[in-house]
């Protein structure tokens, strides 16, 4: 029995000594200089450079919306639907700074206040067995018969813009009434020297340069300024050419981004120290692709 317990009685004090020795170098590493920053001494646990907490069961989000969906069932060759959503998403799952006593309440990154989506398919009423042109000669009837058009439209307001990097709020609203690609929001910035930058005549400072060791109290995103909206239309034109009853030659043309409308929903430059601060034009290319036309032919039997 003594031969079994002896190693254990020797190992336990050794384990305790190892824990004490492993704890000292970390403390000496943080406080081993001739001077120690006051910021470090004001921490609740001065012996640690930082403390990270993971997998905390806290935070929440809230989504409120009004949703309206309209359908037109297939009749007279037309099938149509419209979907509208008015919503707001608030989240509370991060701290503004390590010293914040409570979670920061702010608009969610994926918040979209308004969204409208339209889609429809319409068989044109021309040609054989239709209300118009049913009695024309066979050659003309073959040309005007079998046409179908369809489209999907998406109109969506932009998502919240991230708060400018390196900036702090100065009190004024950054929203502009007539935003452009060169000036998406107000860029008037108060510099530490007292001078201003990026201001138009009569404007007050909207931003200030965030100074070192400044505690953050403002949100991570802006609700008053949003990135570019989404306006997109995809359309198709289809021609069915029936050869007797069993055979059909389908010719179609698809137009992606049919209106060739450029989108800039990636947002403007948000670095307060960048010469392109607040700009989209010249700083970023358009987010979506230009108009694409696809032609296809299919023989169906």
Question: Of the residues 32, 51, 70, which one is the last residue of a structural domain?
Answer: 51
Residues 293, 259, single domain; the answer is yes
- The pLDDT value recorded for residue 48 is 82
The one-digit pLDDT tens for each residue of the chain (301 residues) are: 333 333 333 333 333 333 333 333 444 456 777 888 888 888 888 888 777 878 878 889 999 999 999 999 998 889 999 999 999 999 999 888 877 888 999 999 999 999 999 999 999 998 877 878 777 787 887 888 889 999 999 999 999 999 999 999 998 899 998 889 889 999 999 999 999 999 998 889 999 999 988 888 899 999 899 999 999 999 999 999 988 778 999 999 999 999 999 888 888 999 999 999 999 865 557 888 899 999 999 998 8
Residue 85 lies in a domain: yes
Give which of 258, 241, 217 is closest to 298, Cα–Cα: 241
CB 10 within 8 A of CB 18: no
CB 110 within 8 A of CB 159: yes
Residues 275, 144, single domain; the answer is yes
Question: Token pair of 230, please?
Answer: 């989404």
- The pLDDT value recorded for residue 61 is 93
Residues 42, 69, single domain; the answer is no
Q: Which long-range contacts (C-beta less than 8 Å, at least 24 apart) are formed by 87-90?
A: 87/63, 87/111, 87/112, 87/113, 87/115, 88/63, 88/64, 88/113, 89/61, 89/62, 89/63, 90/61, 90/62
Give which of 119, 110, 122, 121 is closest to 83, Cα–Cα: 119
Largest Cα span, the chain: 114
Residues 142, 169, single domain; the answer is yes
Residue 209 lies in a domain: no
- The pLDDT value recorded for residue 175 is 93
Question: Token pair of 62, please?
Answer: 């809230």
Residues 170, 131, single domain; the answer is yes
- Rounded to whole angstroms, the Cα distance separating 45 from 59 reads 25
Residue 201 lies in a domain: no
Residue 204 lies in a domain: no
Residues 163, 183, single domain; the answer is yes
Q: What is the pTM of this model?
A: 0.76
- Rounded to whole angstroms, the Cα distance separating 279 from 181 reads 6
Structural domain boundaries enclosing 9:
1-51
Residues 130, 273, single domain; the answer is yes
Residue 148 lies in a domain: yes
User: Can you give the length of the chain in residues?
Assistant: 301
H or E segment at 115? strand 114-123
Residues 71, 37, single domain; the answer is no
- Rounded to whole angstroms, the Cα distance separating 195 from 287 reads 35
Residue 77 lies in a domain: yes
Q: What is the DSSP string of 222-266?
A: EEEEE---EEEEEEEEEEEEEETTTEEEEEEEEEETTT-----TT
Q: Which residues are paired to 117 by β-bridges?
A: 83, 154
Residues 10, 74, single domain; the answer is no
Residue 224 lies in a domain: yes
Quick count: other Cβ atoms within 10 Å of Cβ 140?
Answer: 12
Question: Token pair of 61, please?
Answer: 């989000």
Residues 261, 124, single domain; the answer is yes
- If you compute the radius of gyration of the chain from its CA atoms, what whole number of angstroms results? 32
Question: Of the residues 26, 51, 76, which one is the last residue of a structural domain?
Answer: 51
Residue 203 lies in a domain: no
Query: Domain count of the chain?
Result: 2
Model pLDDT for residues 63-102, shown as the tens digit of each residue: 999 999 999 999 888 999 999 999 999 999 988 887 788 8
CB 288 within 8 A of CB 274: no
Residues 5, 124, single domain; the answer is no
Residues 169, 243, single domain; the answer is yes
- The pLDDT value recorded for residue 166 is 92
Percent composition of the chain: helix, strand, coil (DSSP 3-state, to 5)? 15, 40, 50
CB 215 within 8 A of CB 104: no
């Amino acid at each position: 029995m003594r031969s079994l317990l002896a190693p254990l009685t020797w190992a336990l004090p050794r384990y305790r000594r190892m824990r004490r020795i492993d704890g000292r170098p970390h403390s000496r590493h943080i406080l081993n200089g001739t001077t120690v920053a006051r910021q470090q001494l004001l921490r609740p646990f001065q012996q640690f450079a930082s403390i990270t907490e993971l997998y905390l069961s806290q935070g929440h989000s809230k989504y409120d919306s009004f949703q309206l969906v309209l359908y037109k069932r297939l009749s007279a060759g037309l099938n149509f639907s419209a979907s509208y959503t008015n919503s707001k998403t608030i989240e509370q799952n991060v701290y503004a700074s390590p010293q914040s006593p409570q979670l920061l309440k702010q608009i969610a990154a994926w918040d979209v206040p308004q969204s409208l989506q339209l889609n429809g398919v319409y068989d044109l009423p021309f040609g054989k067995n239709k209300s118009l042109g049913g009695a024309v000669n066979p050659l003309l009837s073959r040309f005007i018969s079998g046409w179908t058009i369809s489209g999907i439209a998406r109109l969506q307001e932009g998502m919240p813009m991230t708060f400018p990097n390196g900036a702090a709020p100065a009190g004024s609203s950054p929203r502009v009434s007539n935003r452009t690609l060169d000036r998406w929001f107000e860029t008037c910035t108060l510099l530490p020297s007292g001078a201003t930058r990026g201001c138009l005549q009569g404007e007050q400072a909207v931003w200030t340069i965030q100074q070192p060791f400044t505690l953050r109290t403002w949100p991570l995103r802006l609700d008053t300024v949003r990135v570019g909206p989404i306006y997109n239309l995809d359309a198709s034109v289809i021609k069915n050419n029936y050869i007797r009853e069993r055979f059909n030659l389908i010719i179609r043309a698809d137009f992606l981004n049919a209106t060739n409308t450029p989108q800039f929903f990636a947002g403007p430059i948000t670095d307060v120290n960048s010469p392109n601060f607040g700009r989209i034009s010249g700083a970023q290319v358009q987010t979506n692709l230009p108009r694409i036309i696809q032609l296809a032919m299919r023989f169906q039997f």
